[in-house]
Every structure is written in C-alpha cells, then in structure tokens.
Chains A and B, each alone.
Chain A
C-alpha cells in the first residue's frame, strides 16, 4: 500500500516536471522529446487508474503519432527558418510582457486553487454509470465495457470522431499541396528495421482488434498501431504508388465512417432507432465496424504524417 502511494506521488510529480520541461525548454526539439516522454508517463498513469484501454491509445497516439507529427512539422519549419523560438531577441514589447509574466502567476494560481478545491470538495464515492453499463453489457454484443460504450452505447460519438479524423486529413490535403519527397535514402539500419517491424506491428494490430471485444484493445488501439507502421514506412522512404485521387485509397479512408453509417441505416430499418443494434447481431456488427474503422484510422494517421497529398507517380521499391 505504502509502496503504491509512493509510486503514485512520484509519477504525479514526474508528470508535472516533464510537462514543465516540454512547455518551457529553450530548444524546441528538446521540448518535443519531453512531450513524447510525457505521453509515455501518461500511459503509466492510465494503467495506475485501471484504464488499460486508454493507456494503449495514449502510448500509440498521444506519445507516438503526435510526437512523430510534431517532429515532422519541426523539420519543415526549420527548412523555412521558423523552427526556433524568438525568446532570445526580445523587443521592447516583449520585455514589458516578460515583466507582466510574474503578475500572470496570481490569476493562474487562484484558478488552480479553485479547481483543486472543486476536486477535493466532491463526494468520495460515486458509482457513476458503471451499474448501467454492467446491466446492459449482455445485450451489447461484446464483453469489454469500454468497447461496448465506444461502439454500442455511445456509438454516435465514435461515428462523429471518425468523421473528425477524416476532416483533419481533408483539411491537410487541401492546404498542404503535394507531399514532400522522401528526404534522402534511408539508412540501411532503418530500412532493415522497418522490414522486420512492419509485419510484427500488423500482427499485434490484428490481435488488438480481435481481443478488443472482451479485453483491453479495439479499433482505436489497432488503428493507431497501423498508423505507426505507416509512419515507420514513410520514414524509411517507402511510398505507396497511389495518388490522392485513387479510388482504392479513398475507399479505405472512408471505409470506417461509411460502414458505420451503413450499419446505422441498417439498425434504423431493423429496430427503428439509429445505432440501436438488434442484440442478436450486435457482436458481428461491432466487429464489422471495428475492422473498417481500424483500416481507416491507420491509413488516415499515416496520411497525416505524410504531410501532403500522396502523389502516386513514385515507384515503390
């Protein structure tokens, strides 16, 4: 018990310290590396709070994909000489602003104290919705409560979330133009490593997808692993020979939201209510949605890392 509380206190302080470093390191590269470390510590915190589903998503997306996106953006900013902060060359207005920073601590400390008081004043025990989730788990088609909430009880949220992910990619495609070419020949070690790791990652993703119906895992964790495999392949210089206009690419990208909408329409016809699956079919419907969503999430995340529309004329090695 004492050991556990000690670990919790150390992890809490560690989170705050790493977050401070990520936010205030003078070198932006160092700040981003601290941010990735912060994501991994967050994953530990989720495990400590009995939320392994979130831990998996945080490690793959919060630390992995977000970190890769940040480093990719930093490389492109440095190419246009905007990668460093302007802290060193502070002008007059900046100096006046620095002086008012100390005053900023007062309202922020008051706010933090108020929020902390609000947290402490809450009742120590609230069952929340656990009882309702447990009571309806049998009809949901899966036995992992988090997957049941994500894809059955609150399926509407998840459907819109898939649309948000697709919108981010469309926004990037419309702004960024064609993707930058691979920077240079990848080092032999990276190339070899990507060839070893990619099949392994695909296997783990398929496992997480399958096991997600009854244990921690599911479409988001599996999809983000696929996205990570895509990031690795892109870093190794591999490019799929598909243009952004290719039908196959667009079909996979829209498979997640598309299949979800089709299932919503099916359930509307069967039970008269959108996304209210008939219990007899719930399990198979959820699995179909999850397979499509995994593919879409993986491809969208890799596409976001590509930093532009895929061009397609490049031959894959």
Chain B
C-alpha cells in the first residue's frame, strides 16, 4: 500500500467521523465543525487519488479544485456561523427546534 492510498483511506475515515458527528450532535456549531471535517476528508481523497500519476507528480487540476473548495468552505462556514449567532440571539438556543427539550 503506498502513501496515496493511505491518505485516501484517512480521507474516507474523516468523512465517516464527520458524518457521525453531524448526525449525533444537536449544537449547530458542532454540526458546522462536522461539515468542515467531512469536507477535509473529501479534499484528501480527491488529492490523494490525483497523486497516483507517479513520476508526473500530483495532478494540478484537482489541486486547484481543492484550493477553490477551501475558500468556498470558509465562505459557507462564515455564513452558517452568523446564522447560528442570530438564531441564538433570537431564541436563546444554538440548536434547531426539533432537537430541543422544552
């Protein structure tokens, strides 16, 4: 097993851990953390698979896509966080109403 496959498998693991946390945690900031970890897992799989070119080095196209993805992820995270802050200011909870015990 070479390094590329190893990192691709780590990416799969990160995606699975993130999905688990996304489902079990009610706090919305934890859900945002989970989505970010899932995204990192996807990026890792994408670039690790692009690494299989051998001597040619890592394929530049997936690398550029991951850089784009990182910037889009930070934009989405910032917008999601401000939504949570506003929700908490309105309701006093940082969870969705279905996950709340009144």
- A120 at the binding interface (Cβ < 8 Å): yes
- A61 at the binding interface (Cβ < 8 Å): yes
User: CA separation between A28 and B27, bound complex, in Å?
Assistant: 9
- Report whether B51 and A150 are in contact in the complex, using a CB–CB cutoff of 8 Å: no
Total A-B residue contacts, Cβ distance less than 8 Å: 259
- Report whether A77 and B88 are in contact in the complex, using a CB–CB cutoff of 8 Å: yes
Question: B78 touches which one: A22, A104, A161, A304 (CB < 8 A)?
Answer: A304
Q: Which of B55-102 contact A (CB under 8 A)?
A: 56-68, 70-79, 81-86, 88-89, 92-95, 100-101
- A183 at the binding interface (Cβ < 8 Å): no
- Report whether B72 and A161 are in contact in the complex, using a CB–CB cutoff of 8 Å: yes
Q: Mark A101-132, 1 if CB is under 8 A from B, else 0.
A: 10011001101100110011011111111110
User: CA separation between A19 and B36, bound complex, in Å?
Assistant: 10
- Report whether B18 and A82 are in contact in the complex, using a CB–CB cutoff of 8 Å: no
Answer whether A86 and B27 are a contact pair too, CB < 8 Å, given A4-B3, A154-B61: yes
Question: Would you call the interface of chain A mostly helix, strand, loop, or mixed?
Answer: helix
Q: How many B residues, CB 8 Å from partner?
A: 80
Contacts of A81 in B (CB 8 A): 92
Q: How many A residues, CB 8 Å from partner?
A: 99
- Report whether A171 and B82 are in contact in the complex, using a CB–CB cutoff of 8 Å: yes
Contacts of A51 in B (CB 8 A): 47, 58, 63, 66
- Report whether A130 and B36 are in contact in the complex, using a CB–CB cutoff of 8 Å: no
Contacts of A94 in B (CB 8 A): 101
- Report whether B29 and A77 are in contact in the complex, using a CB–CB cutoff of 8 Å: yes
Interface residues of B (CB under 8 A from A): 2-10, 12-21, 23-27, 29-30, 32-34, 36-37, 40, 43-45, 47-54, 56-68, 70-79, 81-86, 88-89, 92-95, 100-101
